[in-house]
Amino acid sequence: MACFVATLGVGLLLGLFNLSAANKDTCDLYAAVGQSLTLPFVYKELGNSHILRWTHNSTIIFYMQQGKVSVGKPDDLSSAGSLLLKNLQVTSAGIYQVNVLHRNNTLAIAWTGRLCVMDKVSKPQLTYVCDLKSNAVNLNCGVAKPQGLVFSWVLDKKSLPSETKQTLSISLKQLKEERSFSCSVANKVSKESSNSVYPTCKAPPDLCFTRKTVIGALAGGAGLIFLLLLIVMVLCCRLRRNKTQMKLWGKSEQRLFSLNKQAPDSISPEYETMHLAKDSPPPSPKPSPRVCYQNASEAEVHIESKPPHLSAAAEGQQPSPVPKPRIKTQNM
């Protein structure tokens, strides 16, 4: 009974010590989900006379006394006292402690460690975007959960130790030749690398024009446009003026033609009959309107150059108030 009380007291003291160690944020051991891990404890003098006890967060997971296992599986314990953990899960993380006691319940050796269990990282997907404005190519190492992960970059199979971010920016001048990029992502329990990528970005051509040259070209273009507009306006004004003159000339032509057409009809038949002499020759057949138009023009010319000639019978009679012009006719 006294031995049991002494053993219990030692266990309580070690438990208090382990609780203080559990408050630490650092982990002594790391493992991935689904992985198997052997806790690194070795006691080569372990024998059947010893009492061995493993706990997980103060819960007994393995107990052996005088070579007999009462809690756990005998195959999970090595001859040196190491404990094998299989198919770890997130709930497997925590404080693991082992105590080895002598037959008289005195402490022979103890070990305590904190285990952290996390997921393995997934394979990253490397993508790139050509940014011609900044004359650079931006690469991104895509992964599902980037928090707490470590990134690394490789350029042409050479590591870039200064680049530890998820993104990488490279000047386009460095891409004049074909170059390969790859990235890796890692945590405490795993590491994965992406496939190699060969960015194909073309740098914009260098412009050698100065500011004065550009301003001069713009000013020259503006002046040329103004000159063209001025020429178009002048041509439009001239065309409009020509159309107006042609319209006025057409109206005057039409008016003159109508006056000339009405001139033969101005002489009435009563005037010709009243002044016709008895011995005057018989009148010629009435010409067509076209001939009358031509004869009227010739008559006007003949009247201006030669005075009218009256017949002898007409001289003996009383002169008429208005002389009748003689119309020279053409033989049809």
Note the pLDDT of residue 173.
Answer: 85
Decide whether 2-118 matches 120-227 in CATH topology: yes
DSSP 40-76: ----TT--TTSEEEEEETTEEEEEEETTEEEES-GGG
Of 317, 313, 318, nearest in space to 279 by CA: 313
0.75 exceeded by pTM = no
Q: Is the dihedral of CA 21, 24, 28, 33 positive or negative?
A: positive
pLDDT tens series, the chain, 332 aa:
444 334 444 444 444 444 444 445 689 999 999 999 999 999 999 988 899 999 999 999 999 998 899 999 999 999 999 999 999 999 999 999 999 999 888 999 999 999 999 999 999 999 999 998 888 999 999 998 888 899 999 999 899 999 999 999 998 888 877 889 999 999 999 999 999 999 988 755 555 555 667 687 788 888 889 888 889 888 888 888 888 888 777 777 777 766 666 555 544 454 444 444 444 455 555 544 444 334 434 444 444 444 444 444 344 445 555 555 565 555 44
pLDDT at 34: 93
What's the pLDDT at 295? 45
Question: Computed from CA positions of residues 239, 240, 242, 243, in that sequence, does the dihedral angle turn out positive or negative?
Answer: positive
Residue whose C-alpha is closest to residue 11's, from 48, 46, 63, 49: 63
What pLDDT is attached to residue 84? 95
51's tokens = 């009492």
Distance CA 317, CA 274 (A): 13
Return the sign of the alpha-carbon dihedral for residues 160, 164, 168, 173: negative
Statement: 2-118 belongs to CATH 2.60.40.10: yes
Task: Output phi, psi for 22, to 5 deg.
Answer: -70, -20
Contact 158, 215 (CB under 8 A): no
Whole-angstrom Cα distance, residue 132 to residue 79?
A: 66
Nearest to 137 by CA among 169, 166, 165: 169
3-state class of 98 per DSSP?
strand
| Paired tokens of 120 | 């393995």
Q: Which residue has the tokens 């914009």?
A: 204
* Ranges of each domain in the chain: 2-118, 120-227
Helix or strand holding residue 238 (H, E): helix 211-262
Can you give the pLDDT at residue 254?
A: 72
Q: What pLDDT does residue 257 have?
A: 67
DSSP-assigned letters across all residues of 215-236: HHHHHHHHHHHHHHHHHHHHHH
- Pairing verdict, β 29-32 and 107-118: parallel
Per-residue pLDDT, 197: 93
Domain 120-227 -> CATH class:
mainly beta
The 3-state DSSP class for residue 96 equals strand
Contact 81, 42 (CB under 8 A): yes
